[in-house]
Structure 1
């Protein structure tokens, strides 16, 4: 265990949720103290800007506490370890992700489905996250990260990558199958690389031309507008765009026995579905809820094996509102990352 003194750091917190133009992020000073039992104090090297952060700032996700510091794609160095921490020591590089804690005793935790734990808590929603110079993380829910990699390139892996990986699993893509990806932001462009590395044919359906160009550069077989039909029936599809209108569109694009996985934590209302057009012939519709720590470990191993190449746009920590605005207006290709 290493002790650390409390220190005041710069951060951004969600004040009054609302459209990004209304300025929901407010600059704050936070006192970050020594780590408690089971915690590590982390100096933030980089923090990805996730669409979930945008949903929290704009009020699509109701705040769990006032003036929370968002950010849950955290890369940093351990400054101090609290009592009982044996996994990490000062100087280690660690990653902080969305899932921050679970009860460990409910039927979901006991059956390997801790992502469904009713008592789960989340970084940047239930506790302050990484839009800050320093933060505290529970050691049991942090990930060891390569010490020499670019922290800005590691950051999107901690949520966009992990959630995309779980969504890919939930889509039940068969070996060598045909995958449709709706929306092509931070999570989608990483999931596509995993699917392509495993031999899938990937078709991307998204509204932004820059995103379509990125998809083709990564090896997608086609890239069309979000409401277009793919050039062939799909075995599986993943909806990353938080647009409920695309659910029937994606279901209609599935071949018999196909599966659609909805990856986002927030989705606008889904229009009426008809059994014959959208669900008959054993089409499956699935949601994706958070992730397990096993998902995170498996994905980070996969990311190293492939290896993945995130497309990132860097912003200084002082420009967090601009990063959120660019995300909201589709002016980011790939992932946005804050650098303190």
Structure 2
């Protein structure tokens, strides 16, 4: 049952990207800032948990140019609605909700009209264009929020809202045939959820990643093999997904594909790709595809599938006050699975 609206706080405690620097040098700063106004179509959300995504790291370290000065990062948000705007329908105070990377689109361009809103030129993003979830409270456009089930731990739900959704889209873009052979390059937050999704659909999964702990996790989750990032898989691949932001792995993954195979590159940032050899990497109808954000339909489809086939989410949790430590641990590959910031 929905709870009555509580008084709206005027300020919130939040981490902001104070300046860009390596995560080990702590580019974040804790502030008490005015809470963004709740617009007519917005939800005021009290944050319970927020996942720590590699995109947050790219923003803090300067790989992605900032859009909103002194922005609060975080786009895997689980919380409770405190107040709703006067044009909001479908949400009530007390509802459990999630906010993901896609924060807004124009709704009018040819991409929005053709079920490709992730390509909208005027799209906006949580923790990049709008303040995100490394905070006690945040404001979310209700049209881009998700109802979340009760009874599941917030720290397990949070990673589903980006790591899970982006992995879902990447798997769709990789065009894995039924019962196919999937290669996953890099095995962090998104990859360990995507592997489970592919396995639940009957795929054979081979993991290629540099960290020994990640390889052990992959085998524990059911991968058929787990090898070094630059190693060849034990058999040709029908599809592959590159999660590691390492351009050098693009030709490696393409060379591992069987005829007609597809490589989907899942990251928002990638180091430069070296020269490709046409015969070795692309001939025989191999395909190279990028993955750009997600649509709300992706989010709804993935959350429905994850509810039916609940994944094992390997969480390393931190109090929200330790956001800089979580980001530094992510940068140093000290996290196996996902990092999540937790409110008191």
Q: What is the TM-score with the length of structure 1 in the denominator? A: 0.98
Call closer, same or farther: CA 1:93–1:257 in 2, change over 3 Å.
same
Q: Does 1:21 align with 2:24?
A: yes
Instruction: Specify the SS of the correspondent of 1:78.
Output: strand
Instruction: Report deviation, 1:32.
Output: 1.6
Residue in 2 aligned with 1:124? 127
1:207 correspondence with 2:187: no
Alignment match, 2:11:
8
> In the alignment, is the contact (CA less than 8 A) between 1:92 and 1:147 conserved in 2?
no
Alignment partner of 1:238 is 2:241: yes
1:196-222, Cα deviation, whole Å (9 max, x unpaired): 000000000000000000000000000
Q: Does the 8 Å CA contact 1:55/1:61 hold for their aligned counterparts?
A: yes
Q: 1:21 offset after TM fit, Å? A: 2.0
Aligned pairs (5 A) from 1:62-81: 62-81=65-84
Specify the SS of the correspondent of 1:187: helix
SS, match of residue 263 in structure 2: strand
Correspondence for 2:227: 224
| Shift in Å, 1:149 | 1.1
1:196 matches 2:199: yes
C-alpha distance in 1, partners of 2:190/2:42?
28
Q: Secondary structure at the match of 1:256?
A: strand
Which ranges in structure 1 are unaligned for 5 or more consecutive residues? none
CA distance in 1, matches of 2:137, 2:68: 19
Contact 2:8 2:83 in 1 (8 A): no
From 257, 263, 266, give the equivalent of 1:263: 266
- Does structure 1 retain, via aligned residues, the 8 Å contact 2:52–2:340? yes
Query: For 1:107, what is the secondary structure of its paired residue?
Result: coil
Q: After superposition, where does 1:83-102 map in structure 2 within 5 Å?
A: 83-102=86-105
CA deviation digits over 1:271-318, x for unaligned, max 9? 000100100000000000000000000000010111112111000011
Question: In the alignment, what sits opposite 1:339?
Answer: 342
- Aligned counterparts of 2:175 and 2:119: Cα–Cα separation in 1: 19
Shift of 1:2: 5.1
TM-score (norm. length: structure 2): 0.97
Partner of 1:148 in structure 2?
151
Contact 1:4 1:35 in 2 (8 A): no
Deviation at 1:5, TM superposition (A): 2.9
Partner of 1:50: 53
| 1:254 alignment partner, one of 249, 253, 257 | 257
Q: Which moved further from structure 2: 291-300 or 7-16?
A: 7-16
After superposition, the CA RMSD in angstroms is 1.1
- Please state if 1:295 is matched with 2:298: yes
Query: How far off its partner does 1:7 sit?
Result: 2.6
